[in-house]
Structure 1
Amino acid sequence: MNTRISAAVLFVAACATTAACAAPSETPASRPQTQVPVPFGGAVPALTDGHQRRLDGLERRLADACVAERGVEAEPLDLPAPSAVSDETPAWNPYGLLTEDFAAKEGYGITGPVLRGEPSLREEPERDTGDDEEAYRKALTGTDAHRETVRLPTGESFTVNTDGCQFRAGEELYGPGWDRLMYTYQFLANQVVEEVERSPEVERARSRWASCMADAGHPVAAGSSAQDPVVERAETAENRAADGAGGQTALREAAAYELAVARGDARCQRESGLWDAVADAQRTAERPLADAHHATLTAYAKALNQAVHRL
């Protein structure tokens, strides 16, 4: 992607946007996958992965139109439509939580889209940016002559070229001051996630989860994710499918492996109490930040809603 949100994610070593917290009466098995806990979920609108990808596509079309208006010839970027499962998954899942219903149907949502023949969303499609690459780059990202340093309420700062089409597309879609709101949210959210993961309750729950996964035959190395070997197998199978020679069989085998790991993962999350531990720790971690930055979070939510209404 290179999308605006993904750029922010790389900037703060976190992932990016939002979803709402689940109702207390629901269990991890029955609640929608889109209701995973995320920082400030009660104040910020829930976006599915499908929402976010459509927003990214609209923003890129606005940027391409801006580039064309400046007389720079470049092929517009034709991002593929979101996969069928995108509207059932959250735009951001910072703790890697998984419901048993979703796991039983889609696993992690990795191999299914490939088997259905849906286009890959992991990489932007190649395109012709014209004969003058430097002119295209300046039109898209702007020039140092219009570089500004913006100080965030959290104390950090970032620089941006305000004459770039990428910057102006974000302002057009989300409203004035979007970059400042986006980066502030990301820094605040990253603080919450880090504090949640350090909490003793979550550490104990993750230890119980790891023991459960090992007992289920899917041991997970410390600091890694249960999805890592699934992604590796899926990529290997996808490459084999592209080359022929038993690729579809490899994909089906990768899909079966994904379902087995994901089902175990979701069950172990429930049995270890991971969902509740994360939700409780997050409420504690985000409360002082939500109070201190209420106006910024409100403005960020308003900007997201404004953009979604354009879809």
Structure 2
Amino acid sequence: MRTRIGQAVLLLVLTGATTVACGGSRTPAAGPQTDVVVPFGDSVPALTNGEQSLLDRTERRLVDDCMAGKGVGVEPLDLPSPPAVSHETPAWNPYGLLTEDYAAKEGYGITGPVLRGDPSLQAEPDRDIGDDEEAFGRALTGTEEHRRTVRLPTGESFTVNTDGCQFRAGEELYGRDWDRLMYTYQFLANRVVENVERTGEVRRARGLWASCMADAGHPASDGSAAAELVGRRTDAAKARAADGDGGALRSAAEYELAVARNDARCQRESGLWKAVSDAQRTIEQPMADKYREQLAGYAKALEKARRRL
């Protein structure tokens, strides 16, 4: 799940937390990009980038309504609708897996949206929050008088101000105890991914993948390096396009497609999809059994929110 709006200002105190996302779990070399492998994908709903964006927009509106109820008016946030292609990609892709169908069509999804003029799902426009920033902050994140420390079943803890509009909007959209469910899933899912990446079979598959990419003329040290190379080239192409180079972005798009096609092919030939899927199935099963109730609660909360879209 992409980080929720304002999560950084929830006054969370988390031990060892990293941000994750949610999605489904399959192992194809071709097919929909939404079929990437994700922890607990058999029991947790798979969200697309588009769905996550719509959930974020809904939560923003609930936050603004809450703020207005506290007498703190803010300029309405006019966010564009997510582009169609965002419904073809997962909200989280922890292992950097890429299907050959999507690679042939969109590459990594970096340059195509720029060429089409698709709105960014990451950037949020500035808006007027009024003259009293302190009042805005209190209404958004709450006050220390309502601070609560929550211990997760995994042993970690976080703190949150329960009178803040951010907290209240999350509970309204996803249901009671949402933050506890969300962070429990995040800790468990991160633990699964870290352990999967340490397994011998996955490390061997990544080594074969890296050799394959080098042979194809695209040396990359890990699963994200190839996409990062494309991203840097696209950024440079945008600068050249702004200076009048009409073919810069088109050239960057062609480069992206070439790299991504080889990336997806090398993932298939190296057996990376199968190695990740097999390792994850083994590693996550004990956690899925131990935390079955919490995972079911998280899945139910996501489904509740989805019904509002």
With normalisation by structure 1, the TM-score equals 0.93
How large is the Cα RMSD of the aligned pairs? 1.9
Which residue number in structure 2 is paired with residue 45 of structure 1?
Answer: 45
1:266 alignment partner, SS class: helix
- Whole-angstrom distance in 2 between the partners of 1:254 and 1:13: 35
Deviation, structure 1 residue 96: 0.2
- Whole-angstrom distance in 1 between the partners of 2:223 and 2:155: 29
Which residue number in structure 2 is paired with residue 28 of structure 1?
Answer: 29
Deviation, structure 1 residue 63: 0.2
| Counterpart residue identity of residue 210, structure 1 | A
Q: Give CA-to-partner distance per residue, 1:46-105, whole Å, 9 cap, x none.
A: 111111110011001100111111111211222222122110000110000000000000
Q: Which moved more, 1:124-133 or 1:148-157?
A: 124-133
2:225 alignment partner, SS class: coil
Which residue number in structure 1 is paired with residue 194 of structure 2?
Answer: 194
- Whole-angstrom distance in 2 between the partners of 1:128 and 1:37: 40
- Whole-angstrom distance in 2 between the partners of 1:5 and 1:99: 32
1:16 aligns with 2:24: no
Which residue number in structure 2 is paired with residue 105 of structure 1?
Answer: 105
Alignment map for 1:136-175 (pairs within 5 Å): 136-175=136-175
Deviation, structure 1 residue 17: 2.7
Which residue number in structure 2 is paired with residue 284 of structure 1?
Answer: 282
- Whole-angstrom distance in 2 between the partners of 1:223 and 1:137: 39
**Does the 8 Å contact 1:16/1:91 carry over to 2?**
no
| Counterpart residue identity of residue 17, structure 1 | A
Structure 2 vs 1, CA of residues 98 and 5 (structure 1 numbering), >3 Å: closer, same or farther? farther
Q: Give CA-to-partner distance per residue, 1:269-310, whole Å, 9 cap, x none.
A: 000000000000000110000000000000000000000001
- Whole-angstrom distance in 2 between the partners of 1:189 and 1:41: 10
2:251 to 227, 250, 253: 253
Q: Give CA-to-partner distance per residue, 1:247-282, whole Å, 9 cap, x none.
A: x42111111111111101000000000000000000
Alignment map for 1:48-197 (pairs within 5 Å): 48-197=48-197
Unaligned runs of at least 5 residues, structure 1? none
**Does the 8 Å contact 1:2/1:124 carry over to 2?**
no
- Whole-angstrom distance in 2 between the partners of 1:2 and 1:132: 26
- Whole-angstrom distance in 2 between the partners of 1:113 and 1:194: 31
1:310 aligns with 2:308: yes
Deviation, structure 1 residue 6: 7.0
Structure 2 vs 1, CA of residues 205 and 14 (structure 1 numbering), >3 Å: closer, same or farther? farther
- Whole-angstrom distance in 2 between the partners of 1:278 and 1:4: 30
- Whole-angstrom distance in 1 between the partners of 2:4 and 2:157: 20
Structure 2 vs 1, CA of residues 80 and 111 (structure 1 numbering), >3 Å: closer, same or farther? same
- Whole-angstrom distance in 2 between the partners of 1:6 and 1:48: 20
| Percent of pairs with identical residues | 66
Query: Which 4+ runs in 1 deviate beyond 3 A?
Result: 4-8, 10-15
Deviation, structure 1 residue 223: 7.6
| Counterpart residue identity of residue 278, structure 2 | D
Q: Give CA-to-partner distance per residue, 1:86-142, whole Å, 9 cap, x none.
A: 100001100000000000000011111111111222321111111111111111111
Which residue number in structure 2 is paired with residue 203 of structure 1?
Answer: 203
**Does the 8 Å contact 2:20/2:190 carry over to 1?**
no
1:269 to 267, 270, 278: 267
Unaligned runs of at least 5 residues, structure 2? none
Deviation, structure 1 residue 158: 0.4
Deviation, structure 1 residue 4: 4.5
**Does the 8 Å contact 1:6/1:16 carry over to 2?**
no
2:176 alignment partner, SS class: coil
Q: Give CA-to-partner distance per residue, 1:178-217, whole Å, 9 cap, x none.
A: 0000000000000000000000000000000000000000
Alignment size in residue pairs: 304
- Whole-angstrom distance in 2 between the partners of 1:86 and 1:15: 20
**Does the 8 Å contact 1:49/1:89 carry over to 2?**
yes
Which residue number in structure 2 is paired with residue 297 of structure 1?
Answer: 295
